[in-house]
Each structure stands twice: as structure tokens, then as C-alpha cells.
Structure 1
Amino acid sequence: MTDRNIQRASELDTATLSDALDRHGLNGQCYRIKPRSTDFRMTGRAWTLLYGPAGSPAGTVGDYIDDVAPGSVVVLDNGGRDNATVWGDILTEIAHAKGIAGTVIDGINRDVALSLKLGYPIYSRDNWMRTGKDRVQVEATGVPVNIGDVRVCPGDLLRGDADGVVVIPKEHEDKVLATAEEIQRAEDAIRESVRGGMTLREAREKHRYHQLQTRAAQ
């Protein structure tokens, strides 16, 4: 069955979705989570995993990729750690072959070259080569996680582009997408009005641009 809201989100950029989230008073902009390439684009529903410090003996960093459905976004909460990676080239190759939409990490990844070669979208805090093996371990899958100070629940809608990642909570996605589409139409109309000779001030007033940025009454 086609997921219409994934298609709708894929036609909007993260800046527009960010404005729509703000209008509804929702925190969905993942702070400091960036694409490893500005060419990357990603849209899909969250498949979540939580990491914690390794015990003694250490647990595994996980062989979960077999369980992730095509079209999903792998969302890995590594607590923002920048001293050990939880994603590398084997996972990239398998995820790409399975048709997984992309990977988002509150932490770092390695083996960037293969993700660039394959065009597989990875969004993270940074990249570095040191493994997470014996440093972190899987705590749970399919649970709410934190990505860039944003709560992500399984099934939430994620959109990534050159500016970063936004998360749209599943229970709010219809109204957020509708607002984002409204903002996009207004911005398109403003550009057309300016091209037709109107000043930016006039165009914004005509199309009620500043009202679109105002938080809606709850």
C-alpha cells in the first residue's frame, strides 16, 4: 500500500517543514545532525535503536539490519558519542541493496566513501574511523529515542536534505504536512509576484507571508 504522506514529505524541503513544525509548536528539527553529502535526500518512517555503554562482557553493536523493512529510515541513538562509530561500510552496502531509505545517527559513522559512491544517505554528527565494538552495545530496538534533542518514535516520519533532518510525529503529520504545503504555495506565489515586478514587501504582504510563520492557536 502506498504511503501518501511519505510522498508528500518528499516533495517538501526541511526548511519548509521546519517552519510548519514551529507553527504548530512542535520540536522536530534535529540539532547538529548533518548529511555526509549535501546531495543526499531521504524520506521514510523511523526504525529505531538505542545504544548504551558496553558492559563487561560487552554486548554486540547489533545485527539488526536484517529486520529493517525497505523504505524505512534506520534511526540510531548513540547518545551523541563522537568517540566511536556505530555505522560502517557493511551496513551501508546491505542497507542500500535492501532499499532502506537512509540512516540517521545521534553520534558518528565511518566509511563515508562508500555511502558517497552508492548515494546512500547518512545523517550524523560527524564521521571518524574508530569502531564502537566493545565500547557501546544495543540496549533496545523499536523504542523512542533521542536524535539531536528530538524525540523519535517508531513509525515517525523523517525528511532529510542538504540542511539536515526533521522529524514529524506520526500523530501530527497530517496537519504539519498541510501547513508545510500551504507555506510552500505562498512562497512560490511570492517568487512569482516578485518576478512580475512587485517588491518583496508587497509580495509578502499580499500572500500573508509573515502570518504563515506565526504559531497557530492550539
Structure 2
Amino acid sequence: MAPSPDPVPGLPEQVPDAVLATLREVSTATLTTQLMARGLRNTFLGGPRPLRPGRPRMVGPAFTLRCIPAREDLDVLAVFQDYDHPQRLAVESVPSGAVLVIDSRGQTRAASLGEILATRLFRRGVAGVVTDGSVRDAAGIAAVDMPTFAAGASPTTNLVQHHAVDLQVPIGCGEVAIYPGDIMVGDDDGVVCLPRHLAAEVAAAAAEQERLEEFVLSRVDAGAPLRGTYPPDESTRADYRQWVADRPTPGGEGARP
């Protein structure tokens, strides 16, 4: 098993909790806009969808599992007698608060995991699961109180199509490059990968974008035309700054100082 890579030398291993908390409040749509503004266009994972829409947003650093195509002489049911089989080892190794991201090469004929493994991940405090493959026991996994994103459902065990080989290496999932430690954000629209060295910058910009869009939406909903409103011209931005200043302080009763 390869060591965990660090794509940008000298980066801290952990993204601050305050940044993760901000990311729990912003949408994947907003994040893709902010990432595009920084030159990153391929950040939305094609394929994985929430098994149970309506959950709180999934946010956490990626813990990766890479699969290659299965081979009949190697991938037999007996391999699961080994508790250190890479798939089972991944389940027991994902840190609490992290997201298990599985590279299933976009293949959905056999499942990436099932309800028992998903339940174990939930009980270990894992923040979520993402696979560009399918899952088995889909209804059971949807009932587990942990966000799971998959490209489909299949009753067939992973050994029919997937050979798990590596943990904590760069992978592709939904045709997006995922490095260990990248921040995964998921909501009802799907999953976005946020390079961890941009997490703080993008989180702050995304929060400001959503605050501005809340104001713009209120104007449009009240009948304002797009011209001058969306995108906002300087007059609208001046009104927005006053609106922000007049808003109650979170947790308080009065206006902002």
C-alpha cells in the first residue's frame, strides 16, 4: 500500500474546523462557481447521486480506495475471510469525520459496498461515502444516518467487477481527480471535490457569494429586472452593503455594529 501523498508540499494535514463548518452552509452550486473563478472546471463528480436526498450537507476530507477490474482467479468469495482485504481494511481505516471515496471506474454492474460495511462506517463516525459505482442493499444504506452518494444500485457483490488494490492514493471518481485530503462536499445536487489548499479561501468566498445571492433573489422575487440586479451593478451593491449592515447579528437581537 502506497503512503499517503501530499500533492502540495508543506500543506497542513487538517483543514480547520471553522472552514469545514462554513462549507456545511454553502451549496455545491456555489462551490463550482468559486472553483471555476480560480480556473478549476472539472470538480463536480459525474454519476454519484444521494441515496436519500434531503440530508444535511456532507463535508469531510477524502480517504480514497482504488479499484481495478476484477479477475476470476483472484476475486473469489474466500478472499473476504481475510480481515485485511483492502476493502475491509479501508472501512476500518477511514478516520472519523472523513469521507470514503471509492474509484469504481464508473462501473455499476457490481456494488462497491453494502449495508453492513456502510453501517460499520457510520458507527465509526465517518462523514459519508462516495462511489462512482453502485451499492447493494440500497434501501438499507439509505436508512443509515450517513450521507451516501452512488451512481446506482446492484445486488451483485463487488468481487464480480472490482478488485480493491490501494488506499490513500490519488484516484479518479466520476471523472474527477481526487487526492487524499481533498475536501468532499455533497448535497442534493451531487458531490464536488475541493482541493484542500483552496478550502479556506473558497469557503469564505462562497459564503459571501451566497449572502449576496440571497439579497439578489429577494429583489428578483419582488419583481426587479435582471438588468442592474443580476449581476448587481454598483447601485445594487450599495443597497446590498446597507442590507448587510442592517441585518441582525447571528445569535443577537440588535443590528450589526
Classify the TM-score, shorter chain: 0.7 to 0.9
CA contact (8 A) 1:159 1:167 kept: yes
2:43 pairs, out of 28, 42, 45, with 28
Write the distance in 1 (CA, Å) between the matches of 2:213 and 2:160. 50
Matched, 1:175 2:201: yes
Matched, 1:190 2:204: no
Write the distance in 2 (CA, Å) between the matches of 1:85 and 1:32. 14
1:202 offset after TM fit, Å?
A: 3.2
CA contact (8 A) 1:61 1:133 kept: no
One-letter identity of the residue aligned with 1:49: L
1:147 offset after TM fit, Å?
A: 1.1
Write the distance in 1 (CA, Å) between the matches of 2:32 and 2:233. 19
Deviates more, 1:68-77 or 1:191-200: 191-200
CA contact (8 A) 1:48 1:153 kept: yes
Task: Give the alignment's Cα RMSD to 1 decimal.
Answer: 2.0
1:201 pairs, out of 227, 232, 251, with 227
One-letter identity of the residue aligned with 2:164: V
User: What's 1:149 paired with?
Assistant: 175
1:61 offset after TM fit, Å?
A: 5.7
1:38 offset after TM fit, Å?
A: 1.5
User: What's 1:44 paired with?
Assistant: 60
Write the distance in 1 (CA, Å) between the matches of 2:32 and 2:198. 13
Matched, 1:136 2:162: yes
Q: Which runs of 5+ in 1 are unaligned?
A: 209-218
Matched, 1:63 2:80: no
Write the distance in 2 (CA, Å) between the matches of 1:144 and 1:73. 14
One-letter identity of the residue aligned with 1:57: L
Write the distance in 2 (CA, Å) between the matches of 1:157 and 1:105. 15
1:110 offset after TM fit, Å?
A: 1.2
Deviates more, 1:171-180 or 1:70-79: 171-180
One-letter identity of the residue aligned with 2:28: T
Deviations 1:83-115 (A, max 9, x none): 111210111111111111110002111111122
- Structure number having the greater strand percentage: 1
Change (3 A) 1:36 1:165: same
Change (3 A) 1:204 1:109: same
Compute the TM-score of the two structures, normalised by the length of structure 1.
Answer: 0.87
In the alignment of these two chains, the number of paired residues is 208
Runs of 4+ in 1 over 4 A off after TM superposition: none
CA contact (8 A) 2:110 2:160 kept: no
Q: Which runs of 5+ in 2 are unaligned?
A: 1-13, 80-84, 235-257
CA contact (8 A) 1:61 1:86 kept: no
Write the distance in 1 (CA, Å) between the matches of 2:218 and 2:17. 31
